[in-house]
Amino acid sequence: MSDTIVVNNEPFDLYISAVRIQDRVKELAAQIDRDYAGKVPIFIGVLNGSFIFIGDLVREVTVDCEIDFMKLSSYGDAKISSGQVKMVKELNCQVAGRDIIVVEDIVDTGLSVEYIRKHILAENPASLRFVSLLLKKDIAKTTAPIEYVGFEIPPEFVIGYGLDNAQKLRNLKAIYRQRPRA
Ligand code: 5GP
């Protein structure tokens, strides 16, 4: 895949290569293995964006674990958050008394994470932590830290490795960022 792709006449430049992503995923998994030794966490992937990341992450993790998914909606097909989060698919697992690790593709405003935090804490987990491949640090307003972050990035629109452009291009192996307009 070339270093620049053009989507609807807009150039996107290669930002984080597939190799860098895979290296970082292995590091995050090693950290999680250390922190959860002897426990059986439930990884909860937030659809759709985290589907590739959680797939790669759980295959690097060696602790016994379970996997479930939830789906929120806040963006629709827009690039800017609508500011309103709603649950589109509920969890299927029992959260009470369990160690929960929520897996996000990217934390932007932090609204989704805060919504999920409240929702899961209401069910009394033994513990709750978040892992996000990407964090837009200058924008994110979360009340508690994201415990595991792959890469901190500036407030730019990125696609690939699960992240979409109007539902397309999630299947890119690397992450690309929209080139700022001159
Ligand atoms: P937040 O609630 O933190 O504002 O938004 C989180 C969700 O917005 C992410 O899970 C992702 O689906 C979407 N999002 C935020 N920033 C980007 C971005 O730069 N690119 C893409 N494709 N989606 C994003």
**Per-residue pLDDT tens digits for 32-57:** 999 999 999 999 999 999 999 999 99
Predicted local confidence at residue 174, as pLDDT: 98
Nearest ligand 1 atom to the CA of 163 is 22
DSSP track, 25-56: HHHHHHHHHHHTTT---EEEEEETTTHHHHHH
pTM tops 0.85: yes
Q: Is the CB of 152 under 6 A from ligand 1?
A: no
pLDDT by residue, tens only, the chain of 182 residues: 679 999 999 999 999 999 999 999 999 999 999 999 999 999 999 999 999 999 999 999 999 999 999 999 865 556 666 668 888 998 999 999 999 999 999 999 899 999 999 999 999 999 999 999 999 987 767 778 899 999 999 999 999 999 999 999 999 999 999 998 87
Query: Using one digit for the tens of pLDDT, what is the confidence trace for 7-34?
Result: 999 999 999 999 999 999 999 999 999 9
Q: Measured in angstroms, how far is the CA atom of residue 158 from the centroid of ligand 1?
A: 9
Q: What is the pLDDT of residue 73?
A: 84
133 ligand 1 Cβ < 6 A: no
Structure tokens, 28: 């995050």
**pLDDT for 143:** 72
DSSP code string of 80-134: S--S--EEEE---S--TT-EEEEEEEEESSSHHHHHHHHHHHTT--SEEEEEEEE
Q: List domains and CATH numbers for the chain.
A: 4-178 (3.40.50.2020)
pLDDT given for residue 82 in this prediction: 63
Nearest partner of 53 among 111, 102, 86, 100, judged by Cα: 102
Instruction: Give the per-residue pLDDT at 141.
Output: 78
Model pLDDT, residue 31: 98
Check if 104 has its Cβ closer than 6 Å to any atom of ligand 1. Answer: yes
